[in-house]
Amino acid sequence: MAPVLYMVPYSQPVRATLMTIKALNIEIELQEVSLIDKQQLSSTFTKLNPQHTVPTLVEDDGFVLWESHAIMPYLVDKYGKEDDPLYPKDLRKRATINQRLHFNNGVLFTLNVLGPIIYQGEGTISEEKVSRVREAYAFLETFLDRHKWVAGDWVTIADFAIIATVTSLDVVVPVGEEIYPNVYAWMRRAEGLPYYDENRRGLEIIKNMVTKKLA
């Protein structure tokens, strides 16, 4: 039996996980959980994941793992090549990737610009939030200085995590090419990846959701 991924397609962490799955060519069953209908709070789901978050991975032997930044390294270690460049064995390379993943989880994702719009009906974004997003873009601009990808000169799972978050933030706080040329160029390179459609599909959903909420 194939592993099961509980997900909602527009979620940034889900999109990052789906890109990883596509890059590794893993056969997986997708089970959609409606966050708007609060299906994640059902007793069935909370037995699997008491934090009731997506994505949640369930292996065929019953092993359960949630949090995309834990799932993606696990998938590469289990299903990737012997020393897969997506998450290589070299300690220093991994350390850089881990730092970028923590940056995504601890800085970018905590900006929480879209959640209040989608789930709480907020119709505006404060200048304080916009300023914080732009500060985060500036950090990323520095990471990408003299590098093609966020952890070096090759694609890693850190790119999957951060591109899903940044393209979502870009819906309401655009990444200006003149102000953040490195970030802008990196986004265009990411669009050319053979597994980028896993991000694009969910991103289109979130764009439509936000546009309707802000209309």
Sign of the alpha-carbon torsion through 58, 59, 63, 69: negative
Give, as one character, the DSSP assignment of residue 148: S
What kind and span of H or E run contains 66?
strand 64-66
Active-site choice (11, 42, 43, 168): 11
126 included as an active-site residue: no
Phi, psi of 31, deg, nearest 5: -120, 115
Q: Do the Cβ atoms of 135 and 169 come closer than 8 Å?
A: no
Inter-residue contact 150 to 166 (CB < 8 Å): no
Q: Which residues are catalytic?
A: 11
